[in-house]
Amino acid sequence: MGTEALLYQALAEGKARCGVCRRRCIIGDGERGYCQTRINQGGKLYSLIYGEVASVSINPIEKKPVFHFLPGSRWLSLGTLGCNFRCPGCQNWELSHAEVGRGGTSFLSAEQLVQLAKQHHCLGISWTFNEPTIWFEYTLDGAKLAKEQGLYTNYVTNGYITPEALDSIGPYLDVFRVDVKGFSHEAYHKLADIGDFTGILESTKRAKEKWGMHVEVVTNVTPGYNDDEEQLRGTASWIRQELGEWTPWHVTRFYPHLKLRHLEPTPVAVLERAVRMAHQEGLHYAYLGNILGHPMENTYCHQCGSLLIQRYGFDVRQYNIEGTNCRYCKARIPGTFAQRAQTMIKS
């Protein structure tokens, strides 16, 4: 039957309203919600995926991508099946669009998860590959144990989490790496099958302001969907105004997948233009992603312009931050940094 959900409301006629994501599905007896991972049995809601792991690996934090939180560190990264979005060009569609309950997973308890992270000398645990919100009960248990054991924690998320779910896990999450897939209702309707994306912006702001999480934003720039100047500039402006000028923004290259296989990869010039717009809007740390070796993937000091972190893919080649300061001009660099980057692992 699964593990009883933590956040739901029992309704009349045996129905239940899920309280984990902002779809707030009303689910009839014997039925599942939009994500297909929660089922109503006799008026009670159960998760079908608690501890069911579909993919697990050790990755550098740069792969999330996160650039201003312990660069070069190793993170135990894991995901399950299902998603509360159905993005037509999802790069992890084998997991997110998979049919839940038909195998393809192995059980890993929250205790085993933390042990595995420590065994492999990881600094943290990252719930990624598919949407961690739908794995809520498991990620909450894992995050609590991780914090007790001195590990960091990270959600790689689409941000469509409810305020009550975010507030439940908020004390135990360090990093909120969120997708802002576009900056119009039309774009979100096409890319994620939701009508109102403002809840994502609200959750992201709440993660930073109420819970003090380190926030980095990613926009996968998809030709014809979210690559116009109005949306790109709008995203940059919102980040600057609501999250602050030091918040990293990653504009990443789309590659054709699934139902968007007919599209071409995002032109490099479009991404470069987005980074320039971000600087114009007042963001100090905008990055270009998914193009190996591009200089806009590096970190440069906002004050003196010196190269602080040189990256090649997920590999840190140079590291010129001392404590939290630029080695050259001593300006404080926003983020969480170690005395030196950990030895990079190859992916």
282 and 302 in a common domain: no
Average pLDDT of span 119-133: 97
CA neighbor of 47 nearest in space, from 91, 7, 90, 94: 7
Model confidence pLDDT, tens digit, residues 212-227: 999 999 999 999 999 9
Average pLDDT of span 162-171: 98
What is the pTM for the complete model shown?
A: 0.97
Within 10 angstroms of residue 126's Cβ, the number of other Cβ atoms is 27
- Based on the structure, what is the number of domains in the chain? 3
> What local confidence, expressed as pLDDT, does residue 344 receive?
47
Model confidence pLDDT, tens digit, residues 233-286: 999 999 999 999 999 999 999 999 999 999 999 999 999 999 999 999 999 999
DSSP string of 262-283? TSPPPPHHHHHHHHHHHHHTT-
> 74-79 and 124-127 as β-strands: parallel, antiparallel, unpaired?
parallel
CA neighbor of 45 nearest in space, from 80, 15, 22: 15
285 and 187 in a common domain: yes
**The domain boundary residue, chosen from 289, 316, 333:** 289
Q: Which two tokens stand for residue 16?
A: 């239940």
| pLDDT, averaged across the chain | 96
Residue 103: pLDDT band (50, 70, 90) is confident
246 and 205 in a common domain: yes
> What local confidence, expressed as pLDDT, does residue 77 receive?
98
251 and 188 in a common domain: yes
According to DSSP, the residues that pair with 6 across neighbouring strands are none
Q: Which two tokens stand for residue 202?
A: 């609200």
89 and 167 in a common domain: yes
Q: Are 307 and 335 in contact (CB under 8 A)?
A: no
